[in-house]
Amino acid sequence: MQAVFYCSQGPAQEVMRYGEQPLPQPAAGEVRVRLHASGVNPSDWKVRKGGLGRSLIAPLIIPHSDGAGVIDAVGEGVPASRIGERVWIWNGQWKRPFGTAAQYIALPSFQAVALPAHLGYPEGACLGIPALTAMHAVRIAEANHGMNILVVGGAGAVAHYAIQMAKARGATVLTTVSTAAKEKHARDAGADHVINYRTEDVGSRIKALTGGAGVDAVLEMDFPVNAAGYPQILKPRSNVIVYGMSKSESTLPSSWLMQNSITLKFFLIYELTLEQREAALGELTGLLEEDTLKHSIALRLPLREAASAHDRIEQGSVMGNVVLDIP
């Protein structure tokens, strides 16, 4: 099969290769998926580059955790009726060397989720990390009618889904952006209020929009950068749901957080419990079947141009998901 792979960490154009790799065979409890699309996420370039002390887990890595395609073979214990099923994939390369940047992947059957008929493979390749992260964050924030939810970085791939999911639960959604183009992107997702943090005082705007109260919850994509501003935006007994950070350590307004009974909730989307995963998948599947979500695909490239996709995401030059089309 054709695949993208690397055997050492470093710049994308130097270490990533495109070529032939062995066709995987499904083991007991596994399915093999003929992939049509591979989703590229920020974590993919960070691992490839060795960020935050991440090292290679195997001599050869086929990257990417997200993808979509058709089951073409099953291992022992998996019903043959799954063959021919259109699916999307989560955790394709988490703690495994061979991910979705290839024509085929073999992985546990439960990691291949039925893709609704009206969704294409590129959309399916956006679900594993961006949509599931957003869904779990919205769930543990307990977004609901009457709540004000701040989704930080409203033009991001996760935020684009989170805005829609919080709105679907009846919440009023505030979000922050840095440009007019990103403001439009966030409004297209359904954000009620968009704050440009480069030209406006975020704390003052949030207080004005919430009648001086502050927000009930924050969905946070860069905790170390934004934590200092929490006293200006949070109401007492509110929650901060942290799903991302740019640095390994943070400085917190600890006394204020304690005095106001603020709850910090951290999670890593790759490591949800079985119960959490099933709950998030169940709610996400319902939204997908109802066709209520907009999927923002900013860039599609052929699989052989995976290195360019990594570079574009690392440079922050795309607004939305990046998907590779697999021949």
DSSP code per residue over 281-318: HHHHHHHHHTT-----EEEEEEGGGHHHHHHHHHHT--
Q: Does domain 2-126+295-325 have CATH number 3.90.180.10?
A: yes
Q: Give pTM, 2 decimals.
A: 0.96
What's residue 236's pLDDT?
Answer: 98
Please, where in the chain does CATH 3.90.180.10 lie? 2-126+295-325, 130-269
DSSP sequence for 184-233: HHHHHHT-SEEEETTTS-HHHHHHHHTTTS-EEEEEES-HHHHGGGHHHH
What's residue 248's pLDDT?
Answer: 87
Both tokens of residue 181?
């183009």
- Average pLDDT taken over every residue of the chain: 97
pLDDT in tens, 82-102: 999 999 999 999 999 999 999
Q: Does domain 130-269 have CATH number 3.90.180.10?
A: yes
Q: Which of 89, 126, 81, 125 is nearest to 106 (CA)?
A: 89
Identify residue 189 by its one-letter amino acid code: A
Contact assessment for residue 137 and residue 171, using Cβ atoms and an 8 Å cutoff = no
Both tokens of residue 6?
């690397």
Identify residue 128 by its one-letter amino acid code: G
- Beta pairing class for 148-151 and 215-220: parallel
Both tokens of residue 72?
């073409």
Q: Give the contacts of 212 (CB within 8 A, at least 6 positions apart).
A: none
What's residue 122's pLDDT?
Answer: 98
Tell me which long-range contacts 205-210 makes (C-beta under 8 A, separation of at least 24): 206/150, 206/174, 206/232, 206/233, 207/232, 207/233, 209/148, 209/174, 210/148, 210/235
| One pLDDT digit (tens) per residue for the chain, 327 residues | 999 999 999 999 999 999 999 999 999 999 999 999 999 999 999 999 987 667 899 999 999 999 999 999 999 999 999 999 999 999 999 999 999 999 999 999 999 999 999 999 999 999 999 999 999 999 999 999 999 999 999 999 999 999 999 999 999 999 999 999 999 999 999 999 999 999 999 999 999 999 999 999 999 999 999 999 999 999 999 999 999 998 889 999 999 999 999 999 999 999 999 999 999 999 999 999 999 999 999 999 999 999 999 999 999 889 999 999 999
Contact assessment for residue 159 and residue 153, using Cβ atoms and an 8 Å cutoff = yes
Q: For residue 54, what are the CA distances in angstroms to 8, 95, 100, 111?
A: 12, 12, 19, 24
